[in-house]
Amino acid sequence: MKRNIVITGGAGFIGSHVVRLFVNKYPDYKIINLDKLTYAGNLANLKDIEDKPNYKFVKMDICDFDAFYKLMQEEQIDGIIHLAAESHVDRSIKDPFTFARTNVMGTLSLLQAAKLYWESLPEKYEGKRFYHISTDEVYGALQMSNPEGIEPPFTTKASSGEHHLAYGKDFFYETTKYNPHSPYSASKASSDHFVRAFHDTYGMPTIVTNCSNNYGPYQFPEKLIPLFINNIRNRKPLPVYGKGENVRDWLYVVDHARAIDTIFHEGTIAETYNIGGFNEWKNIDIIKTVINTVDRLLGRPEGADLDLITYVTDRLGHDARYAIDSSKLQKELGWEPSLQFEEGIEKTVKWYLDNEEWLDNVTSGDYQSYYENMYKGR
């Protein structure tokens, strides 16, 4: 079936992987990459598919309701995969207004435009889908204690599926109560509620997913793993919050894109699906693994750059532990991660070291002026 799908934030880290997957896998679909090209949007992420006949880029702010409604009509959009968001917690602490505008009002703008267009059609919502990608951070934080007294990390099980190196018995489930602690997670929680409200109020066919930390190629180097790869490469300090004891569940970005593909096509309307890697790591252990991997691939003695670790004042409201139970997704739709972290981090570090030009352009900001001029006035 031919489809016309908008992927918002498609020039960003996760979005570019989703765009690439859909463009290559579904040649009969028209894939429209809609992105404002803020600092985190980089069309160089998609150079390998930019000339494909079923791909189109549109520079647009998701808060521009009129422009998006017009696009819906002109392109006869029947599917929206919404990834566009401000996503960096530190930036949200400094500037919460930007996060509320983009993540809340931007999502509402898309929802209302989709509602008005789809309701104007004879078939209305039949065959339509609004898929909203969210984060595990909306759930708040989990404890790192084990009531049985076993010293973590340990191997345990959630409702199904094995967790490696778990740091507690509790996990985030689709039914976990929302309890956001940062302006970023609060803005994402609000957008999640709006998406569900549009289903409950208007009958819009919506789906929400909440995913754990992603890593892999094309991630903007303000995030932990690419930032530290770049700093190790250039022998710069590695700032570690607090003692580096905070725990996160990590998922290779290509596996997340695969999950989005599966859920968009096979997921049940109005359902929520958690997407995670069953793969918990303390930040300090991630950092040491990255250091050892970079040193080895650069031919340096193992651990040569451990002295770059610099402990800094902890982040405000820093959640202790996130851990996703993605059993529902595994059992109902058959998805599971394809890579364990050790394999994924090897591929990730190698990609950044093999793509130093991309990394240097991003860290210098040169990519912004290049694409700003290319799309000026479009």
Q: What is the pLDDT along the chain (378 residues), one digit of tens a residue?
A: 699 999 999 999 999 999 999 999 999 999 999 999 998 899 999 999 999 999 999 999 999 999 999 999 999 999 999 999 999 898 999 999 999 999 999 999 999 999 999 999 999 999 999 999 999 999 999 987 666 666 777 776 666 566 566 788 889 999 999 999 999 999 999 999 999 999 999 999 999 999 999 999 999 998 999 999 999 999 999 999 999 999 999 999 999 999 999 999 999 999 999 999 888 999 999 999 999 999 999 999 988 999 999 999 988 888 889 999 999 999 999 999 998 888 999 999 999 999 999 999 998 765 454 444 444 433
Q: Which helix (DSSP H) or strand (DSSP E) does residue 193 occupy? A: helix 183-202
Catalytic sites, residue numbers: 136-137, 184
Contact 19, 7 (CB under 8 A): yes
> Which residues contact residue 168 at a Cβ distance below 8 angstroms, ignoring those fewer than 6 apart?
142, 143, 144, 145, 146, 152, 321, 323
In eight-state DSSP terms, residue 306 is G
Per-residue tokens: 280: 């918990």
Contact 245, 317 (CB under 8 A): no
pTM score, whole prediction: 0.93
pLDDT at 279: 87
Contact 205, 125 (CB under 8 A): yes
In eight-state DSSP terms, residue 8 is E
pLDDT at 169: 80
Contact 281, 143 (CB under 8 A): no
